[in-house]
């Protein structure tokens, strides 16, 4: 069991309160996923040449400024740094390949959570309320977010195994369910030169779909290939810089409920996470059909 | 009629359910409302008294499960397993119902005004289910007795491995499951349908607009030609 939540605000006035609106959604999914929680939040994009790098390391808490200084000394430039305990965001206009290679060599224990112009990712072990307090989830601002509460069934409980998973740039995925052919998808992608960071089944789905889009598929075509390729139970919620997407397996083994309102679109595993949204009584609440694609644009 | 009002924002669910599990003779004839259900699980499960319960919003999983005698009305949608294993009484969902609505129900009437998800009436054992909208795939899977009335369409593999339940469908059937076939509607079947349409508030709908599906009974006994399928 796991819980998923997603929120996209259509009313620009709500962007400043995105985190606040989301908090009851995440807390509502505590029983479905009490061991870890995570959130990807999409903000207005940074400059076209720049990228945000979200980093995680429990050993680095007091040393993020040192990392930023060393990065500047090694590669030049003056990276921007935002720190929240174990988590840091570095904004830099240096080539992403250089930064990734430098991090890997110089700080191999720092986990690179996400890269992109809009995405920030926070994930950690613990009760959703504790994880949210640790990283100030209620203060999030932005256009949309994708969150998850985890009850692990197939791999270890670590921050790296928590969702969302990311691949490429400005792309994330959360999953409720279990994939039965994750290993064969993984072997196929590894032959394409794609590197995995964990043994988690969800990472295979995340990297498969990102690979398809990098190969030129649009989101819908990639999701169609996902239906053909992924075997198992899944409700998948995905975020791009300007879209949320949702699919359920053909047997609808894992739940999802959607609320469409003039001001927002909200998605959760169960209605109890939608019940506290403003004016929910006037939202169109429905269960997404199995094997259908649902895509909402900012 | 005496009316008792609960609010799930201020009273824990367990307290409300414990009240509803009181002595059936004291609860008989009472009317209970539950405000702010907000998708909570297990609301009004295991009732055994002839009373009326109104859930004023969306219910979570297993609402009114194992119901006996009570009339439970849900003024919103219902999560997975609404009225599962109902024995008698009536459960009315005014919105949509999620998967496995009325699963294994043995008696009583489940009315869903909206759509029902997958596996509606799975292993039905004698209850009646009327769905105002459409049902998802694998509905009435291995249904043994009772009636499923679908005013809209049915998904894939309707009535797979069916025993003796009747399935009335007014819309399109995406596909039939193994051993489920269309049957001529006899006078007795028609009477059952007319009665259920009346009881569920659909008296205006003509029984002639329905088709009847039932078991072809070819899976009842072992047949050597099927050996390869096991």
- Average pLDDT along chain B, 230 residues, taken 10 residues at a time: 91 98 97 98 98 98 98 98 98 98 98 98 98 98 98 98 97 97 98 98 98 94 75
Residue B219's pLDDT is what? 87
Domain match, A136 and A185 both? yes
Task: Name which of B38, B77, B136 is nearest A285 (Cβ-Cβ).
Answer: B77
Strand order in the sheet with A171-179: A165-166, A171-179, A232-240, A243-248, A293-297
Q: Residue A280's closest chain B neighbor by CA?
A: B38
Which A residues in the span 228-267 are in contact with B, Cβ-Cβ below 8 Å?
250-252, 255
Residue A24 contacts B where some CB pair is shorter than 8 Å: no
Domain match, A155 and A23 both? yes
Chain B interface residues facing chain A, Cβ-Cβ under 8 Å? 38-40, 57-58, 60-61, 77, 79-80, 95-96, 98-99, 115, 117-118, 136-138
What pLDDT, in 10s, does the model give residues A279-292? 999 999 999 999 99
The structural domain count of chain A equals 2
- Answer whether A251 sits within 8 Å of B118, measured CB to CB: yes
Smallest CA–CA distance, residue A271 to chain B, in Å, is 5
Domain that holds residue A66: 52-117
Structural element, H or E, at residue B181: strand B180-183
Residue A56's pLDDT is what? 97
What pLDDT, in 10s, does the model give residues A50-86? 999 999 999 988 899 999 999 999 998 899 999 999 9
- Answer whether A274 sits within 8 Å of B39, measured CB to CB: yes
Domain match, A129 and A168 both? yes
Residue B2's pLDDT is what? 75
The 3-state secondary structure of chain A, one letter per residue:
CEEEEEEEECCHHHHHHHHHHHHHHHHHCCCCCECEEEEEEECCCCCCCCEEEEEECCCCCCCHHHHHHHHHHHHCCCCEEEEECCEEEEEECCCHHHHHHHHHHHCCCCEEEEEECCEEEEEEECCHHHHHHHCCHHHCCCCEEEEEEECCCCCCCCCCCCCCEECCCCEEEEEEEEECCHHHHHHHHHHCCCCCCCCCHHHHHHHHHHHHHHCCCCHHHHHHHHHHHCCEEEEEEEEECCEEEEEECCCCCCCCEEEECCCEEEEECCHHHCCCCCCHHHCEEECCCCCCEEEEEC
- Answer whether B118 sits within 8 Å of A276, measured CB to CB: no
> How many residues belong to chain B?
230
What pLDDT, in 10s, does the model give residues A113-127? 999 999 999 999 999
Q: Residue A272's closest chain B neighbor by CA?
A: B39
Smallest CA–CA distance, residue B53 to chain A, in Å, is 20
Q: For chain A, what percent of residues have pLDDT higher than 90?
A: 96
Domain match, A63 and A189 both? no
Residue A290 contacts B where some CB pair is shorter than 8 Å: yes
Residue B230's pLDDT is what? 61
- Answer whether B39 sits within 8 Å of A273, measured CB to CB: yes
Whichever domain contains A136, its CATH number is: 3.60.20.10
Q: In Å, what is the CA distance from B209 to each residue of B115, B151, B173, B177?
A: 19, 9, 14, 22
Whichever domain contains B207, its CATH number is: 2.160.20.60
Other CB atoms within a 10 A radius of the CB of residue A82 amount to 13
The structural domain count of chain B equals 1
Residues of A with catalytic roles: 2
Domain match, A87 and A7 both? no
Query: Beta strands A36-42 and A144-150: pairing type?
Result: antiparallel
Identify all chain B residues contacting A274, using CB atoms and an 8 Å cutoff. 39
Q: Residue B134's closest chain A neighbor by CA?
A: A289
- Residue B80 is classified by DSSP as T
- Answer whether A252 sits within 8 Å of B99, measured CB to CB: yes
Identify all chain A residues contacting B40, using CB atoms and an 8 Å cutoff. 272
Contact B132, B201 (CB under 8 A): no
Identify all chain B residues contacting A255, using CB atoms and an 8 Å cutoff. 79-80, 98-99
Domain that holds residue B65: 3-229
Residue B1's pLDDT is what? 66
- Answer whether B58 sits within 8 Å of A275, measured CB to CB: yes
Cis status, amide bond into B89, omega within 30 of 0 = no
Smallest CA–CA distance, residue B96 to chain A, in Å, is 8
Domain match, A25 and A86 both? no
- Answer whether A290 sits within 8 Å of B95, measured CB to CB: no
Identify all chain B residues contacting A250, using CB atoms and an 8 Å cutoff. 137
| CA proximity to B39, closest of A25, A45, A69 | A25
A64, A93, A117 — which closes off a domain?
Answer: A117
Here the tokens at position A54 are: 């979200």
Contact A175, A152 (CB under 8 A): no
| Position A218 pLDDT exceeds 90 | yes
Domain match, A219 and A94 both? no
Smallest CA–CA distance, residue B21 to chain A, in Å, is 24
A94, A117, A140 — which closes off a domain?
Answer: A117
Identify all chain B residues contacting A271, using CB atoms and an 8 Å cutoff. 38-39, 58, 60, 77, 79
Query: Beta strands B90-93 and A243-248: pairing type?
Result: unpaired
Domain match, A72 and A22 both? no
CA angle at residue A53 from A48 to A59, to 5 degrees? 165
- Answer whether B39 sits within 8 Å of A270, measured CB to CB: yes
Contacts for A275 with CB less than 8 Å, ≥ 6 apart = A24, A28, B38, B39, B57, B58
A117, A135, A169 — which closes off a domain?
Answer: A117
Residue A60's pLDDT is what? 85
């Amino acid at each position: 069991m796991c819980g998923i939540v997603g929120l996209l605000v259509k009313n620009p006035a709500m962007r400043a309160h995105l985190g606040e609106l989301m908090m009851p959604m995440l807390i509502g999914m505590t029983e479905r996923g009490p061991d870890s929680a995570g959130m990807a939040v999409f903000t207005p994009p940074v400059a076209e040449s720049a990228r945000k790098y979200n980093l995680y390391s429990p050993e680095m808490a007091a040393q993020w400024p040192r990392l930023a200084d060393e990065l500047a000394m090694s590669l030049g430039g003056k990276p921007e740094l935002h720190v929240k305990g174990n988590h840091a965001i570095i904004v830099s206009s240096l080539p992403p390949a250089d930064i990734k290679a430098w991090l890997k060599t110089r700080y191999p224990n720092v986990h690179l959570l996400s890269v992109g112009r809009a995405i920030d990712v926070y994930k950690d072990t613990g009760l959703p309320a504790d994880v949210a307090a640790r990283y100030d989830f209620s203060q999030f601002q932005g256009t949309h977010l994708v969150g998850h509460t985890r009850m692990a069934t197939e791999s270890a409980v670590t921050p790296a195994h928590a969702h969302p998973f990311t691949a490429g740039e400005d792309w994330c995925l959360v999953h409720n369910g279990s994939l039965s052919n994750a290993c064969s998808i993984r072997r196929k992608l590894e032959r394409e030169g794609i590197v995995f960071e964990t043994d988690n089944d969800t990472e295979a789905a995340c990297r498969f779909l990102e690979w398809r889009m990098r190969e030129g598929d649009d989101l819908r075509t990639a999701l169609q290939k996902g239906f053909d390729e992924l075997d198992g139970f899944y409700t998948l919620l995905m975020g791009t810089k300007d879209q949320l997407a949702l699919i359920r397996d053909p047997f609808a083994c894992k739940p999802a409920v959607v609320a469409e309102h003039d001001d927002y679109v909200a998605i959760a595993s169960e209605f109890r996470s939608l019940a506290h949204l403003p004016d929910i009584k006037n939202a169109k609440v429905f269960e997404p059909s199995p094997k259908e694609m649902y895509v909402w644009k900012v | 009629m005496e009316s008792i009002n609960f609010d799930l924002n201020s009273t824990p669910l367990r307290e409300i359910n414990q009240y509803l599990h009181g002595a059936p003779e004291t609860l008989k004839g009472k009317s209970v409302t539950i405000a702010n259900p907000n998708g909570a699980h297990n609301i009004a499960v295991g009732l055994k008294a002839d009373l009326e319960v109104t859930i004023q919003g969306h219910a979570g999983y297993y609402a009114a499960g194992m119901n006996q005698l009570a009339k439970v009305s849900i003024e919103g949608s219902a999560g997975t397993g609404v009225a599962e294993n109902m024995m008698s009484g009536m459960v009315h969902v005014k919105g949509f119902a999620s998967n496995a609505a009325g699963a294994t129900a043995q008696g009583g009437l489940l009315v869903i005004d909206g759509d029902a998800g997958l596996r509606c009436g799975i292993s039905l054992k004698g209850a009646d289910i009327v769905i105002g909208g459409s049902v998802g795939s694998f509905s009435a899977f291995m249904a043994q007795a009772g009636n499923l009335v679908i005013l809209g369409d049915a998904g894939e593999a309707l009535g797979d491995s069916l025993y003796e339940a009747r399935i009335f469908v007014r819309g399109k059937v995406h596909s039939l499951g193994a051993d489920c076939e269309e049957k001529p509607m006899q006078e007795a079947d028609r009477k059952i349908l007319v009665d259920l349409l009346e009881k569920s508030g659909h008296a205006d709908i003509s029984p002639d607009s329905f088709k009847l599906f039932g078991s072809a009974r070819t899976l009842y006994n072992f047949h050597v030609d099927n050996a390869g399928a096991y």
